[in-house]
Amino acid sequence: MSQGPVFTLYAGIKKVNLICATIAGILMLFVNFSIFIDVFFRYFFSRPSIWITEVSTYLFLYIIFLATPFALQQGRHIKVTFLQSRLNAKTIRIINLGCSILAMVFCLVLIWQASRMTWQAYEEKWVSPTVLNAPLVYVYIVMVVGSTLLLVTFLLRAILEFRGRSLQEDGGEDR
């Protein structure tokens, strides 16, 4: 049986989300290791770095925005479920669709504002006001990319949910 173009597109976006989440995991390892090294050097040699705190802060932004779409596709995002046991499947589907629509509106606003800020940072060549002097366009661009992936993931999930398609059929979220 053919899965259809939406399901195929969802499978593709899931692969992209997995790659982004893997990158986020590698960045998390780097951040943890670099902070450990910084603490070690600060404590034993009284020689803290001048860049680790700032870079770790920027990478934390990357970790959040690259991993969030994957968390959504896996059903690991924050959600309130205490009423679900008292509702029937149709009502749960309607609530999920409503939440997805509201989340997509939020993502659209986030993409719009992050894009404006990123473009302004690019045009005006914003840099961090620290010794590192990092170009902020590279910090802000991940918000546009991650929010776009989140929006597409919400949209495809909402379409599949609207069509009554179980996301568990392809190894999706646990329900």
Instruction: Give the pLDDT of residue 84.
Output: 77
Query: What is the Cα 55 distance to its own chain's centre?
Result: 19
Cα dist. 9→13, 30, 94, 120 in Å?
6, 32, 23, 32
Predicted confidence pLDDT, tens digits, the chain (175 residues): 457 888 889 999 999 999 999 999 999 999 999 999 999 999 999 888 888 999 999 999 999 999 999 999 998 877 777 777 788 888 888 888 888 999 999 999 999 999 999 999 999 999 999 888 999 999 999 999 999 999 999 999 889 888 876 555 444 553 3
Model-level pTM?
Answer: 0.86
